[in-house]
Copies of this chain bind each other. A is one copy, B any other.
């Protein structure tokens, strides 16, 4: 699931929301966040009061090529300043208490971010510091909350993974339709049913010849089972050729032997 590709060409896909890291502690995590943002097609990164200052070389090391995102990151003193030019702000937060605000899932939040962007408005999403999460003052800067639907028995979510899940949902939300199942085409040529039939005939002929299908009563059922099996999923021409070869070679001994 890896490979360093395309980091150099990362560019904003507009309208794309701003990821706002609030008081992040570890520069390594900021780099991992940038990588996750790249995966999800996000680009705009803002950092509020990073504990160890900014820039930090360590971030570029864990960024796995998402340099442009880190190069373009902007630092702010406060959440209020960081969200100043935005129209809508979401706060990710596992357990909102004493707060009444709309609470969305990651999927619902991403859909709303996309819808808002389509209206020409700018969105931001707040992610809290590694240990403590967002505090009440941070959350007060947000319009809505995003609470991830995950195992309530183990909510300890890594910062970059929180950004990953949001970016993943945002990437999907941008697409109108999501194909559930596609087939590879590439250079491989899928076999037609006639190609398959040709192989089945070959196989059955040899099975008959070898005596495997000699029980007349069981023969139709056995052939049906074989056909079921070889009809499961798509076969390529190449694979059929291999199977032809297997059958031909396996029986070669018998053919050489006078019966």
- Interface check A30, CB cutoff 8 A: no
Which one, B103, B107, B164, B211, contacts A182 given CB within 8 A?
Answer: B103
A58 shortest CB reach to chain B, Å:
15
Of A93, A94, A154, A157, chain B has the most CB atoms within 10 Å of the CB of A154
Cross-chain contact A156 with B242 (CB below 8 angstroms): no
Cross-chain contact B155 with A6 (CB below 8 angstroms): yes
Chain A positions 200-232 with a Cβ under 8 Å from a chain B Cβ: 203, 206-207, 210-212, 222, 225-226, 228-229, 232
> Bound complex: CA of A165 vs CA of B104, how far in Å?
18
Could you say which residues of chain B place their CB within 8 Å of the CB of A160? 158, 161
Chain A positions 6-46 with a Cβ under 8 Å from a chain B Cβ: 6-7, 9-10, 32, 35-36, 38-41
On chain A, the number of residues with a Cβ less than 8 Å from chain B's Cβ atoms is: 108
Could you say which residues of chain B place their CB within 8 Å of the CB of A117? none
Of A3, A92, A161, A180, chain B has the most CB atoms within 10 Å of the CB of A161
Cross-chain contact A233 with B236 (CB below 8 angstroms): no
- Interface check A71, CB cutoff 8 A: no
Cross-chain contact B254 with A158 (CB below 8 angstroms): no
Cross-chain contact B102 with A233 (CB below 8 angstroms): yes
Cross-chain contact B229 with A242 (CB below 8 angstroms): yes
Which one, B35, B210, B245, contacts A156 given CB within 8 A?
Answer: B35
Which one, B35, B105, B222, B252, contacts A254 given CB within 8 A?
Answer: B252
Cross-chain contact B1 with A180 (CB below 8 angstroms): no
Which one, B101, B105, B206, B257, contacts A179 given CB within 8 A?
Answer: B105
> Bound complex: CA of A236 vs CA of B229, how far in Å?
9
> Bound complex: CA of A238 vs CA of B171, how far in Å?
39
Which one, B129, B154, B247, contacts A39 given CB within 8 A?
Answer: B154
With A161-B160, A232-B233, A257-B257 as contacts: A133 and B3 at CB distance below 8 Å: yes
Q: Can you list 20 residue pairs at the A/B interface with Cβ under 8 Å? A: A1-B148, A2-B128, A6-B152, A6-B153, A6-B154, A38-B153, A38-B156, A39-B155, A39-B156, A40-B150, A65-B156, A100-B236, A101-B184, A104-B180, A164-B164, A225-B239, A247-B250, A250-B251, A253-B255, A253-B257
